[in-house]
Amino acid sequence: RVTDLVKDWGEDTPLIECDVSDEQNVKTAFENAEKSLGKLDTIVHSIAFANREDLGGRFVDTPREGFTTALDISAYSLVSIAKHGSNIMNGGGNIITLTFQASTQVFPGYNVMGTAKAALENIVRQLASDLGPDNIRVNAISAGPLDTLSSRVISHYRVMKSAHAERAPMRRNITPEEVSKAALFLSSDLASGITGEILHVDTGYNIMGI
């Protein structure tokens, strides 16, 4: 799928494996990135995983193994990527991750991923503090429901999306383009004074009390 995404970018576009469940693989990935690119200006952390059976039913029934897997891949991976990626952000840079409002509120069916997003947002603030002296900014985009491969396995996703469109101030769902433009803003000098923030791109849904 990634190969298809970049096929129009030219044959010299580097594709580098980064398995975040393997610390050595992450380290090697950024060593290879340095060889190919020299340095990095921006890293987009766009990865999350939970076992399908843990995205539904009661949260209290989440098994220890499933909990550990979701937190490791969806949250700790940002720590690992920031640790190794920041080494080749000479002169400063920008790290962006993706979160969701379930970090602070209950969305039935999102379950352990809500816990993982809560951890991820705290990690954003911790990393922003650690890496700020190196002129590296760390922020998160909290997007509304989007049709993705991941969202399709979340139980009640259609209800979630419908409620969002009905109750958000702008009375609609967001688009992928709106999220990408927010990421572009955070990656640019226009956001040079912003770090440790959770930027909501959700047509205002997060401000509503019902």
Q: Which residues are catalytic?
A: 110, 117
Backbone φ and ψ of 20, nearest 5°: -70, -5
User: Which residues, including other chains, have CB under 8 Å from residue 148's CB and lie 6 or more apart?
Assistant: none
**HSE (CB half, 13 Å, CA atoms) of 48?**
24
Q: Is 136 helix (H, G, I), strand (E, B) or coil?
A: strand
Spatial separation of the C-alpha atoms in residues 160 and 152, rounded to whole Å = 12
Alpha carbon 150 to chain centroid, angstroms: 12
Spatial separation of the C-alpha atoms in residues 94 and 100, rounded to whole Å = 20
Cβ distance 102 to 110 under 8 Å? yes
